């Protein structure tokens, strides 16, 4: 199964392959702070067990620092269900 691909969604976290960036996002790197400010929904999921959650980005920004890039933060996540570190995420637009 591939990562969910929905039109209008910015896809990140497709396993960092050296020299191969995921296209489709050309702005500055999203940080926890900018994501919270833009009221963008952050959805993270575990590739190992499919556990999926939507963390409160504002709370995460307060806890880990608003300047923390979302990608770096996700890189530190561990699945609460199976302890895998194979975590992907998407940011979805705020205008729903």
State the residues that interact with Zn ion by CB under 5 A: 46, 48-49, 51, 79, 81-82, 84
Q: Measured between alpha carbons, how far is residue 17 from residues 20, 55, 64 in Å? A: 5, 25, 25
- Cα separation, 65 vs 69, in Å, equals 9
Minimum CB–partner distance for residue 14 and Zn ion (Å): 17
Nearer to Zn ion (CB atom), residue 34 or residue 89: 89
Phi/psi at 11 (5° precision):
-100, 130
Minimum CB–partner distance for residue 4 and Zn ion (Å): 16
Nearer to Zn ion (CB atom), residue 31 or residue 88: 88
Nearer to Zn ion (CB atom), residue 61 or residue 90: 90
- Cα separation, 5 vs 93, in Å, equals 14
């Amino acid at each position: 199964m591939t990562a969910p691909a929905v039109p209008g969604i910015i896809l990140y976290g497709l396993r960092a392959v050296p020299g191969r960036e995921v296209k489709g996002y050309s702005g500055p790197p999203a940080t926890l702070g900018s994501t919270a400010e833009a009221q963008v929904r952050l959805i993270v999921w575990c590739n190992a067990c499919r556990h999926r959650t939507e963390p409160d980005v504002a709370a995460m920004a307060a806890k880990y620092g608003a300047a923390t890039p979302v990608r770096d933060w996700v890189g530190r996540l561990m699945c609460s269900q199976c302890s895998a570190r194979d975590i992907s995420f998407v940011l979805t637009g705020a205008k729903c």
